[in-house]
Amino acid sequence: MNEQITYQGAVYPWHCDHMGHMNVMWYVGKFDEATWQLFARLGITPKFMSDQQRAMVAVEQHIEYKRELMAGDIVTVRSTVVEIRDKVLRFSHVMTNSVTGEVAATTVLTAVHLDAVARKAASFPAEIRERAAAMIVP
């Protein structure tokens, strides 16, 4: 499975700030959309979370901005799992300009699987851990 395309879209003029490039809030937003696609591929779907009374909580995010994106640019986000532990998932996203192939930004996030009722970290089901492990790039 490894690296997967989890988002494709465009930079619209309203995504741009006074400097003329995509504002940082939109990088985070596009990475967030990619996160939900990645989670769904792992089996962490809204239905799973509702049925099992589970949630995912972001506890850390590190972003590096590499190249500007401008209105009209087409972007692709590719994602992979960096590490899976009993209750913790670390994953990364790489955002590229789809036309030039240049890396625009990268992020690594750490999320905790939560029992939504007890509000405490909970172990991932074995099938989710297995899917996540299959995505780790050796």
pLDDT in tens, 90-106: 999 999 999 999 999 99
Question: Where residue 16 falls among pLDDT bands split at 50, 70, 90?
Answer: very high
CATH assignment at residue 14: 3.10.129.10
Q: Which domain holds residue 11?
A: 4-135
Question: Where residue 2 falls among pLDDT bands split at 50, 70, 90?
Answer: confident
pLDDT in tens, 19-78: 999 999 999 999 999 999 999 999 999 999 999 999 999 999 999 999 999 999 999 999
CA distance 48 to 40: 9
- The residue to which tokens 């190249």 are assigned: 67
Percent of all residues in the chain with a pLDDT value above 90, rounded to a whole number = 96
CA distance 97 to 103: 6
- The residue to which tokens 């990364």 are assigned: 92
Question: Where residue 1 falls among pLDDT bands split at 50, 70, 90?
Answer: low
- The residue to which tokens 């939109």 are assigned: 26
Average pLDDT, the chain: 96
Instruction: Say if CB 56 and CB 71 are below 8 A apart.
Output: no
How many domains does the chain contain in total?
1
| Percent helix, percent strand, percent coil in the chain, to nearest 5 | 30, 45, 30
With helix as H, strand as E and coil as C, how does 29-65 read?
A: HHHHHHHHHHHHHHCCCHHHHHHHCEEEEEEEEEEEE
